[in-house]
Amino acid sequence: MYHNLFRIPLLAAVMAVILAACAAPTPTPAAEQPTATQAPTQAPAATAIPPTNTPRPTATPVVLGTVAGRIAFRSTRSGSDNIWVMNGDGSGLTNLTQTGHNESPAWSPDGTRIAWCRLAGQNFEIYVMNADGSDQTNLSNNPSGDCFPSWSPDGTQIIFASDRDGNAEIYVMNSDGSGQTRLTNNPAQDDQPSWSRDGKQIVFGSDREGQNDIYVMNADGSNQTSLTNLGVGVAPVPMWSPDGTKIVFQCQCGGTYVMNADGSGQTNLVINGGQADWSPDGRQIIFSSDRDGNIELYVMNADGSNVMRLTDNSAEDYSADWSP
């Protein structure tokens, strides 16, 4: 049930691992921790897009100084799920949240703050903190599950998913937590929203037509339109390219994909690839993969070439968000 995704940390962790490792669409029991054997082995569904690139099972470690920007991500390396940051080349690792269960980091457009969600008591809340981890503040303050924050390009608003009205919907609030307003109204799961860089549109995942697919709507919630017909499960975690022309996403059909903003040109970038995000200049993509035995973060060129490993730690490292 979707409620469990928000309210039970182990299931949430398993769900995120499923997103990262591209395993079966039905959440597995919490006792089944991610292993290399959970790599995507299932055959693509009948309607899945055939891979167009050859798999790259290994990657060279990143060369220091070759990747720009700051990266926020989720890691279990301290023993529980926390939000970490590092430089784009993997140096400067810092744990920003030392308590609780934390996930879904999202940089503010000016790079000074990070929104994320934390299991606080019995439910998830949207939090925000300064980029150094100081001044951690609960923004959503609602007894339901609230997660998956994404900033408006001017930094004044945050969209997120919540099940406060009975099922998962997309909401918007001011970046101080005020004015929380629902944008979708559909009995299906609507989650994983991402705001376009021009502020005009929002992509999100929904299973309103069966399995999870990617939808787009205007920023006021109007004109909700399907972009994909993947026919497979699990939220695709769509992310806009900085120039707004493309969307990268994870497909349960097998790996990290990119498509044009209108849904055309769906292309498999890497087969063993999970949740992804763009570099500030749009020329590179960061993604998670367990190709080297456990979930690590990798950077590749936007065409899928030149895969480099950013992290090297036996813990799970995933859910990366690249500073704008």
The radius of gyration of the chain's CA atoms, rounded to the nearest angstrom, is 17
81 near Ca ion (CB under 5 A): no
CB of 28 or CB of 186, closer to Ca ion = 186
Of 175, 174, 204, the residue nearest 189 (C-alpha): 204
Instruction: Report, in Å, the least distance between residue 77 CB and Ca ion.
Output: 7
125 near Ca ion (CB under 5 A): yes
Q: Which residues contact 266 (CB under 8 A, 6 or more apart)?
A: 49, 228, 257, 258, 259
Return the residue of 81, 89, 103, 146 that touches Ca ion, per CB under 5 A: 146
CB of 3 or CB of 267, closer to Ca ion = 3
277 near Ca ion (CB under 5 A): no
Q: Which stretch binds Ca ion (CB under 5 A): 21-29, 108-116, 159-167, 285-293?
A: 159-167
Place of tokens 């993947």: 230
Return the residue of 163, 169, 191, 277 that touches Ca ion, per CB under 5 A: 169
CB count in 10 Å sphere of residue 225: 11
Q: Which stretch binds Ca ion (CB under 5 A): 42-50, 102-110, 125-133, 274-282?
A: 125-133
317 near Ca ion (CB under 5 A): yes
Return the residue of 89, 103, 190, 207 that touches Ca ion, per CB under 5 A: 190
CB of 81 or CB of 190, closer to Ca ion = 190
3-state SS record for the chain: CHHHHHHCHHHHHHHHHHHHHCCCCCCCCCCCCCCHHHCCCCCCCCCCCCCCCCCCCCCEECCCCCCCCEEEEEECCCCCCEEEEEECCCCCCEECCCCCEEEEEEECCCCCEEEEEEEECCEEEEEEEECCCCCCEECCCCCCCEEEEEECCCCCEEEEEECCCCCCEEEEEECCCCCCEECCCCCCCEEEEEECCCCCEEEEEECCCCCCEEEEEECCCCCCEECCCCCCCCCCCCEECCCCCEEEEEECCCEEEEEECCCCCCEEEECCCCCEEECCCCCEEEEEECCCCCCEEEEEECCCCCCEECCCCCCCEEEEEECC
142 near Ca ion (CB under 5 A): yes
Q: Which stretch binds Ca ion (CB under 5 A): 28-36, 90-98, 265-273, 296-304?
A: 296-304
Instruction: Report, in Å, the least distance between residue 124 CB and Ca ion.
Output: 5
Instruction: Report, in Å, the least distance between residue 93 CB and Ca ion.
Output: 12
Instruction: Report, in Å, the least distance between residue 316 CB and Ca ion.
Output: 6
Report how many residues bind Ca ion under the rule CB under 5 A.
12
> 3-state DSSP call for residue 83?
strand
Q: Which stretch binds Ca ion (CB under 5 A): 55-63, 168-176, 194-202, 225-233?
A: 168-176
Instruction: Report, in Å, the least distance between residue 190 CB and Ca ion.
Output: 4
Report whether 243 contacts 220 (CB < 8 A). no
Return the residue of 186, 211, 260, 267 that touches Ca ion, per CB under 5 A: 186
CB of 277 or CB of 317, closer to Ca ion = 317
Return the residue of 123, 180, 212, 224 that touches Ca ion, per CB under 5 A: 123
Instruction: Report, in Å, the least distance between residue 76 CB and Ca ion.
Output: 8
Return the residue of 288, 294, 319, 323 that touches Ca ion, per CB under 5 A: 294
167 near Ca ion (CB under 5 A): yes
Binding site for Ca ion (CB under 5 A): 123, 125, 142, 146, 167, 169, 186, 190, 294, 296, 313, 317
